[in-house]
Structures are given as structure tokens and as C-alpha cells.
Amino acid sequence: MDISIFGLGYVGCVSLGCLAKNGHKVIGVDVSETKVKQINSGLATIIEKDIDVIIKEEHFKGNISATTNFIIAIQKTEISIVAVGTPSSAKGHLNLNYIFKVAEHLGDALQKKDSFHTIAIRSTVFPGTIEKFEKIIETISGKKRNKDFAVVSNPEFLREGTAVYDYHHPPLTLIGSSSKEAADKIASLYKNLPAEIVITNVEVAEIMKYVNNTFHALKIAFANEVGNICSAMKIDSHKVMEIFCMDKQLNISPYYFKPGFAYGGSCLPKDLKGLQTLAHDLYIKAPVIESIDKTNNLQISRALEIIQNIGKKKIAFLGLSFKAGTDDLRNSPAVTIVETLLGKGYEVQIYDKNVHLSNLTGTNKDYIDLHIPHLSKLIVNNIIDLVDNADVVVINNNEKEYVDTLLKTKSSAALVDMVRLPQQIRKRNNYYGINW
């Protein structure tokens, strides 16, 4: 295909070379005459392993050229890739002037173009940017998005130093679009790469680069804090993290990466506190590890705020234990919520088939005796009556019984969902999800 690439910096230059190497005719567009001359001389605009050879070879074959004339570049191509810079301010806000200038250029050029044009944004942008980008093009060109042109989000995941390798071996190819035609066309550029092509909505694709890189930064900070603790105890930190990474079932897996309610139980709070105490006793500063329980407490506060803002006093809880399939009430965030609501004068009743008061023993019983000593007065055995008579129903655990009950009940109670119930329930009026 014939492709124009706006921006001949890091991402633009790598994309220019790799797309040409994969058999496409590619025109680079940049306001810098120096960069344009470099490409037209067969020279890369960046220092990066292998890209200099690729640019030289593909220029020699006639697959690569560059220009400062955006009109010509757009008229000659069916796809435009936007890879201009989006530098951030000291406070983290993005400078999107270069992005929106490209939108203006596209608007001007598309006035005179009859064929459908597809635009892919590879630059890192905040969610909502592409919508503004489309509106600029529509206003200037008089054309309609998804009819005369379409814009998709196609974030790059290239690491400096291995960018060419990363281009040809991505973890996945992500495309966010409201146009199937545009999504399929961009997907075809990557069909021969050994990675799954994921097509989703635009806003999800726009935020992914931020989520990915923030998590990468978190991993580095976490590993360094573990390393500092291990170093103070003369433990081999690399061996510790090597074994940590061997666990693909829990440590490196999707298991814990589901937004929702706070964690609880006996293990996570206890062991987190233990590692925090160990760091403190060793005089090691570990702000990431120290902040984990603070974030968890904020999630409990968020849930409490949602319930209180509904403005009703008669509350039903479906599930009290810290997760489905257990009777463990220790450090259950639901216990904290119930305890707080009772203290504020709310009328609370609870259904949890796994919690049998007569069988509570040991630390589990001690925990309840300390926090909700009159729990026996709050527990009910009829889930249907509980839901039908409540003003607010809080779903704390993902038990099938709770889902089945909510699907068949005609209760008009507000639903506060901590577990992400099925879509059929989430569509109801008076529904509140904690993270969705």
C-alpha cells in the first residue's frame, strides 16, 4: 500500500523503514528540511540498531522518500500514520499542538481528495484526543468521519535500542477504531507479524500506553525496593526475583489484574505489613511498598462514598467474607464497610451462605467479636426477602447465587457492584459499579 508518515523522529523513522521493508511504498513528511534531506539521501534520522541499513536499502529500492509538502503526501497515499511528538509539561500535561497541526493539514488535503483516507495515530495521546482530531478534520475538510475518512488509535510499543526488533516482534498489535474498514486496513499492515491483533474501542487503545508504561515503572520501583531490603539482609535479590518470575499462575498472570473492590483475608494484609515492618526495621525507605495498603484503604473509602451518596439507609450485603467460596472474614473490606455504616446509623442486613456464626472459631471469631460483635443480628437466611426489602443492595462477592437472584428479582433497590456483574444487570437503572 501507499503510506504517508507524519513525523520523522524516533517512531516515524522506524515505522518508515520497517513498513518499506515489508513491501509498502512510504512517504515521510516532516517540517524539518534536514530530516527530509536525510531520508532522501538514504540516511536514518535517528541512531538505532539496524534502522540505518534498512533506510539505506529501501531508499535504494525506491520504496522510501520524504517531503515537507503534506498535500502531495496525502494525495499520493491511502493511509497516513501520525508519529509526531507529544512532549509533556512539568505537570504532566501533553503538548498536542503538533498532533492538531497534522489534523489541520489532513483537513486541507482531504478537501480535494475523493477516495476514503485512513489515519492511524501512533503518537502517545490522552483519551479523547482522537475525537478532537476527527472534529478538526471534519470542520476544515467538510468531509464526514467514518464515511470519507477514519482515524484509528494504533499505539506503538517500541523500546529504544531494540526498536526494529520490537516492531517485528510486538507483544500484540493494538487498534482502536469505530470504523471496521479502517481497522481492517491498518490490521493488514501487521498481518505477517507474530503477534495477536487486538481491535477495541478508541479510548481503550488511547490509554493503554500510559497503563503499560506506568506498570513498567512500578515493576522497576518494586524490584528495586525488594532489592534494597534483600541487600540489607545480604540476600541475593536477583535470585529472589528470578524465582518470583517463575510463578506464571499468580505472580505474572491476569489473576490479580481485575479492577474492583479492595483486597482482604489473612495473607495479603499480614505479609504486606510484614515486609513493610522489615524494611522499617532495616532503615530502608520503600515508598511503593508502603503505599500499597494506603491505596487499598482508598478503595474501601470509594465504596463507602458510593453507598452514602445514594442517600438511602436500608442496606443489604450479599457476601461478607473477603472473597467468594470462603468464610474468612479477617480483614474483609466488606466488614469494614458494614462496621462504618452501622456507626453512621444505617440499617444493615447480610446474606452469606458461607458464613455460619456457630462455626466461627479462632482468629476469625476474634476478628468479628472485635469489629461486629452483634453480627448474629445482621445475618439473614432468605436472600430473596433481603433483596426485595432493601433500598440498596451491595454485591461484595461473585457468587453464582447472587447473580441468579438479581436476575430474577424485581427489586427496585439501587445496586452497588464490587465484582462486575453480567452486562444484563449492569444496564439497569440505579446501578453503580465501583470501577466501571
Is the pLDDT at 357 greater than 60, yes or no? no
How many angstroms separate the CA atoms of 198 and 200, rounded? 6
Q: Quote the percentage of the chain above a pLDDT of 70.
A: 97
CA 149/CA 211 separation, integer angstroms:
29
Give the span between the Cα atoms of 318 and 396, in whole angstroms.
Answer: 6
Q: Lowest mean pLDDT: which of 22-31, 115-124, 427-436? A: 427-436
Strand 2-6 and strand 25-29: the pairing is parallel
pLDDT digits (tens, 9 = 90+) for 200-258: 999 999 999 889 888 988 998 999 999 999 999 999 999 999 999 999 999 988 888 88
The CATH architecture of the domain made up of 296-433 is: 3-Layer(aba) Sandwich (3.40)
Q: Residue ranges per domain, the chain? A: 2-200, 212-288, 296-433
Which three three-digit cell numbers place residue 131? Answer: 475525537
Q: What are the C-alpha distances in Å from 373 to residues 48, 265, 320, 342? A: 66, 19, 14, 12
Distance of alpha carbon 198 from alpha carbon 16, whole angstroms: 22
- For the cut 60, the answer to whether the pLDDT of residue 422 exceeds it is yes
Contacts of residue 256, Cβ cutoff 8 Å, sequence gap at least 6:
250
State the number of CA atoms in the 13 A half-sphere of 363 facing the CB: 8
Q: What is the pLDDT of residue 361?
A: 59
Task: Answer yes or no: same fold for 212-288 and 296-433.
Answer: yes
pLDDT value at position 190? 94
What CATH architecture is 2-200? 3-Layer(aba) Sandwich (3.40)
185/188 Cα distance (integer angstroms): 5
pLDDT band at 364 (very low <50, low <70, confident <90, very high): low
Give exposure, 184-220, as e/b (b: 16+ Cβ within 10 Å). ebbbebbeebeeebebeebbebbbbbeeeeeeeeeee
State the fold for domain 212-288.
Rossmann fold (3.40.50)
Q: Tell me the CA distances in angstroms from 306 to 104, 296, 340, 351, 430, one per residue in order.
A: 43, 16, 13, 20, 12
Residues known to be catalytic: 267
Cell of 141: 475538510
Which residues, other chains included, contact 52 with Cβ-Cβ below 8 Å and sequence gap of 6+? 43, 44
pLDDT digits (tens, 9 = 90+) for 9-64: 989 999 999 999 999 999 999 999 999 999 999 999 998 899 999 999 999 999 99
Per DSSP, which regions of 141-241 are E strands? 149-153, 173-176, 197-200
Residue type, position 206, single letter: E
Q: Is the pLDDT of residue 358 over 50?
A: no
The answer to whether 11 and 127 have CB atoms below 8 angstroms apart is: no
